[in-house]
Amino acid sequence: MGKNKIRELKIGNVVLNNNIILGPMAGLTDRAFRIICEKYNPGLVVSEMVSSKALFYGDEKTKKLLDTTGEKGKIAIQIFGSDIESMAFAAKYINEHKLADIIDINMGCPAPKIVKNGDGSKLLLDIDKVYDITKSVVDNSNLPVTVKIRKGWDSNNITGLDAAKAIERAGAKAITVHGRTRAEYYSGVADWDIIKQIKQNVNIPVIGNGDIKSPKDAEKIFEETDCDGIMISRASLGNPWIFEEIQNYFSGKTIRKIENKEILDTIIEHINLELQDKGENVGIKEMRKHICYYLKNMKNASEIRNTINHLETKEEVEQTLTKYFLNTQI
C-alpha cells in the first residue's frame, strides 16, 4: 500500500478534515442521504443540483433542496444554469441565507433535459461562457466556489483542460474532474489521464471523480493522477460505509464487516429521514431506489425488491425488511 493520501484539504478558506467527498447526484444526494453518509465521515458532502433559474423565480420546491437541517459536516450546495444573472442571484442567495460552506457549479451533468437548455456539460463547448459564469458566481460569493466538469463534450471536443484553466482564472478555488465526456454518460471506463493533465496545469486543488468503487481504486487514482482529493458518487449508493472503508484502508486499520443489523438500522434511519422531509407517500416511493442499492448482491434481493416496490407504508416496508434481514445471511 502506498503512502497515506488521506489528509486535510483546503478549499479557499474552508478546511475539510479529509479529502474524500460525497458527489452530487440528482434525486439521490438529498438531505436524508447526506446525513446517512456523514456518519461515516466524508470530508465534504455535495447537494443534488439546484436550478439557479428556479431559485431566481422563487420556486418553493427548489428552496426545499437547500435544507441542511441536522447536517453536522461541511457541505457544498451545487447550482446549475447558463444564465449569468440567475447564477449570480443563486450565489448571493446561498451566501445571504448561510446555507453552505462552499458553492459548487455544475458543468458536468449529461442529462438531455439539462443540456438542451445549454446547462451542465453543454457549457464545455463554450470556454468563454465557462469563464463568465464562474466569474459571476465568484464575484457574488464570500464562500469559496468550486466547479465540477467532465473530460469534454465528445471525442472531438475534449475541452476539460481549457475549461479548467478558465475556471482557475475566474477565481474558483477547486475543480472536480469526471473522466468521461458527455457523450459517454456513465459508460465505459473513466479516463483518469485527463485528471492528471489538469492537475499538472492548474494551481488550485483538483478532485478526481469516476470509477472509484473501492479503497484500492482510491489508492490507484491518487497514484496515477496525483489529485488532491477524490469524489465518490455512485459507489456510495447503498454503501455509505465506503467513506469509512477508504480512510481505514489508508490508515492501515482493519476494514470491518458491515453486519445485517447495521444495514437494516441504516435503511430504517434513512427511511425516517426521507419521510421527515417528503411525507410517507412520496418518501416511501423515493426510498425504493435507495433500498434497491442497499440490497444489491444480497440473497434473493430481486424478490424482496419486487415486494418493496409495491408497498406504500413505512410500517409495511420496515416489517418486510426486518423479516428479510433476520432470515438472510450475508
Quick: pLDDT tens for 269-286. 999 999 999 999 999 999
Kindly state the cell numbers that stand for 118: 445549454
pLDDT tens digits, residue range 9-30? 999 999 999 999 999 999 999 9
Q: pLDDT-derived band of residue 162, with 50, 70 and 90 as boundaries?
A: very high
What is the 3 state secondary structure string of 239-268?
CCCHHHHHHHHHHCCCCCCCCHHHHHHHHH
pLDDT higher than 50, residue 1: no
What is the number of other CB atoms lying within 10 angstroms of the CB of residue 289? Answer: 14
What is the architecture of the domain spanning 9-251? Alpha-Beta Barrel (3.20)
Q: Is 109 among the residues known to form the active site?
A: yes
Distance, C-alpha 110 to centroid of its chain: 14
Residue 326, pLDDT score:
84
Compute the distance between CA of residue 265 and CA of residue 176 in angstroms, rounded to an integer: 33
Residue 9, pLDDT score:
98
> Which residues are within 8 A (CB) of 292 and not within 5 positions of it... i.e. 6 or more apart?
238, 305
Q: pLDDT-derived band of residue 3, with 50, 70 and 90 as boundaries?
A: low
Residue 4, pLDDT score:
78
- Percent of the chain scoring above 90 in pLDDT: 94
pLDDT tens digits, residue range 193-242? 999 999 999 999 999 999 999 999 999 999 999 999 999 999 999 999 99
Helix (H, G, I), strand (E, B) or coil at 11: strand
Q: pLDDT-derived band of residue 109, with 50, 70 and 90 as boundaries?
A: very high
Compute the distance between CA of residue 243 and CA of residue 231 in angstroms, rounded to an integer: 10
Task: Please compute the mean of the pLDDT values over residues 146-155 and round it to a whole number.
Answer: 97
pLDDT higher than 60, residue 64: yes
Compute the distance between CA of residue 145 and CA of residue 77 in angstroms, rounded to an integer: 10
Name the DSSP class of 154. Answer: B
pLDDT higher than 70, residue 2: no
Active-site residue identified among 37, 109, 227, 292: 109
Compute the distance between CA of residue 161 and CA of residue 156 in angstroms, rounded to an integer: 14
Locate the domains of the chain by residue range: 9-251, 260-326
CATH topology (fold) of 260-326: 1.10.1200
Residue 327, pLDDT score:
81
pLDDT higher than 60, residue 264: yes
* Whether the predicted model's global pTM rises above the 0.85 cut: yes
pLDDT tens digits, residue range 117-149? 999 999 999 999 999 999 999 999 999 999 999
